[in-house]
Structure 1
Amino acid sequence: MRYTLLVIFTMIAFAIQFDAFAQEDAKLSEQYQNMVESSETFEKYKVIPIIKVNSFGEVLSDTINNLNQQVSSAKDVQLTAEKERDSAKAQMNDLKAELEQARSVVDEMPLFGIPMTKTTYNIVMWSLVVILLAGLVIVYIMFMNSFRLTKQAKRDKERVDEELEDLRKRSHDKQVKIKRELQTALNKLEEYRR
């Protein structure tokens, strides 16, 4: 913005000076024409009074001095504008460097003390989330499988317990029956002996 204003100001200054040069040039040519036309002619030569020539020389000298001063001031303005432009460029470069540094600071996030960009941080974090979710799914599947196996084992144990209890009862009943039969046989044997 500052650089643009400086360029516009310089262009306006040159336009004003160019217009002033054109006006002075027109005045000088008018004076020259007047001086030539108002002078006397002798054979094929024009006789111009020395006063008019000196007057015209002074005006021409003043005009040249004025133009030199204007050129000098225009050069000074141009140098000032170039210095300000260079200063603005240096400031702009400094600001760009600061902006890049600020962007890198803003874009950087530490993870476990390791600095990394936000993109890398996001990738690492989402990878951890996916890994943890996969681990959770695997643990859930293993739990459900283990729960199913435990339930099946409990049912099998209950069935085996029932069968064992049934076998005990039958075995006990057989033992009681065999003992009765044995007792009956012993009682009969004893009755024969008597």
Structure 2
Amino acid sequence: MKKNFVLVIGFLCLHLAAFAQEDTAQDPPPNTVEQQFIDVVDGSNSYQEFKVIKKTEINGLRKSVLDSIKALETNIDSLNSQIGAQKNDISKLQTDLNTVQQDLSLSKQKEDGIEFFGVLTQKSTYNSIMWSIIGLLVLALAFFIYKFNNSNKVTQESQLKLAELEIEFEKYRQKAIENEQQLGRKLQDEINKNRKG
């Protein structure tokens, strides 16, 4: 039991020592160009009002600055390429959008219109034309029915008058035949009288 207690206390001490070292150890400052300038200027010697900087440090700083500039130029070129590609994409999308809008406008015109004798007309115009034609046809039909009824009435009246004339003619003919027969009898009577007498 005493042995376990010593082990636990030893483990706790080691753990606390490691934790304390982690707290005291700070992350090294980032190695940026600005930090390198600070390190070079602060780490250099002073002579009167001048700073004396070692050639190796200034050359290292120059190399870092040139590398940073080159990396930035590469990044700028890459970003410019991306911008160019995005501009091309935007241009293509704008063209596609214009095409879609034209197709949509044409579809709306076709939806709102009807092709009539090969010409796309609006539905309201088409309806007006069709109802006008139907109205004219109904008027023409009414006119022809009226004319037909009048003609039929005139024909019936003419046929009735013709039938009446035929009846009158038949009566006249019979009367004429009767008169002719009577005249014939009278003539025969006269002839007979003249023969006898």
Common fold by TM > 0.5: yes
Relative distance call for 1:118 and 1:25 in structure 2 (3 A) is farther
Determine the C-alpha separation between the residues in 2 that align with 1:77 and 1:47. 37
Residue number among 47, 54, 59 corresponding to 2:57 in the alignment: 59
Residue 169 (structure 1) aligned with residue 167 (structure 2): yes
Whether the 8 Å CA contact 2:33–2:64 is kept in 1: the answer is no
Give the total of aligned pairs. 154
- Residue aligning to 2:28: none
Structure 1 unaligned regions, length at least 5? 1-18, 40-44, 110-116
- Residue aligning to 1:30: 42
Single out whichever of 96-105 and 162-171 deviates more from structure 2: 96-105
More contact order relative to length (CA 8 Å, sep ≥ 6): 1
Determine the C-alpha separation between the residues in 2 that align with 1:125 and 1:103. 19
Single out whichever of 100-109 and 157-166 deviates more from structure 2: 100-109
Residues 22-171 of structure 1 aligned to structure 2 (within 5 Å): 22-32=34-44, 35-36=45-46, 45=48, 53=52, 56-97=54-95, 100=98, 124-126=119-121, 129=126, 131=129, 134-171=132-169
Identity rate, percent: 9
Whether the 8 Å CA contact 2:110–2:120 is kept in 1: the answer is no
Determine the C-alpha separation between the residues in 2 that align with 1:77 and 1:25. 23
The one-letter amino acid of 1:126's match is T
| SS of corresponding position for 1:125 | strand
Q: Kindly state the Cα deviation for residue 29 of structure 1 after the two structures are TM-superposed.
A: 4.1
Determine the C-alpha separation between the residues in 2 that align with 1:46 and 1:191. 187
RMSD: 3.9
Structure 2 unaligned regions, length at least 5? 1-30
- Residue aligning to 1:20: 32
Single out whichever of 98-107 and 68-77 deviates more from structure 2: 98-107
TM-score normalised by structure 2 residue count: 0.57
Determine the C-alpha separation between the residues in 2 that align with 1:131 and 1:95. 42
Determine the C-alpha separation between the residues in 2 that align with 1:46 and 1:26. 17
Determine the C-alpha separation between the residues in 2 that align with 1:161 and 1:174. 19
Determine the C-alpha separation between the residues in 1 that align with 2:98 and 2:50. 77
Relative distance call for 1:47 and 1:147 in structure 2 (3 A) is closer
Determine the C-alpha separation between the residues in 1 that align with 2:138 and 2:120. 22
